[in-house]
Structure 1
């Protein structure tokens, strides 16, 4: 979407690659530490969970409800879509703004 054949691809500097790699490793370390240190409690449930139960749990406001994470993820996905559109249309938008 953002690279045309006649355009030359810009390569990142080595220092930026190193900083990015370190940030990814730190993020991976935090993620794995959070996963492995959390005590996952298994609940023995003899009743089969249906999709309606899962939907009610995701959208409930009470204990065990996930309405806030659900809304945060929706806003994050919207921001990612808008960012992708801005990146894809970046040069076209700036070219139109510079012309009288």
Structure 2
């Protein structure tokens, strides 16, 4: 009999508004939730609860080795840079390279 009377007393207690608000506030505080102020508006809590992805994305692509190699060795060039310079030299020898700055078609017209 004692258990049924205590459960009915608990139901009566929860029906009143003040204990319900206290329990609600404690629940929000314990589980780290935000109060649901207005159901018709978006609050952004779903996005704010998500884990941050910035550090993971930053670690996905490591720093290129060429940057640290340039600091350690002066004059360091990657294979791609060397190939581009060789090609530009060959094109200039053939007369197909880029003109010097200010020596293009527009300068010849003036």
Q: Which has the larger radius of gyration?
A: 2
TM-score, shorter chain, exceeding 0.5: no
Structure-2-length-normalised TM-score: 0.27
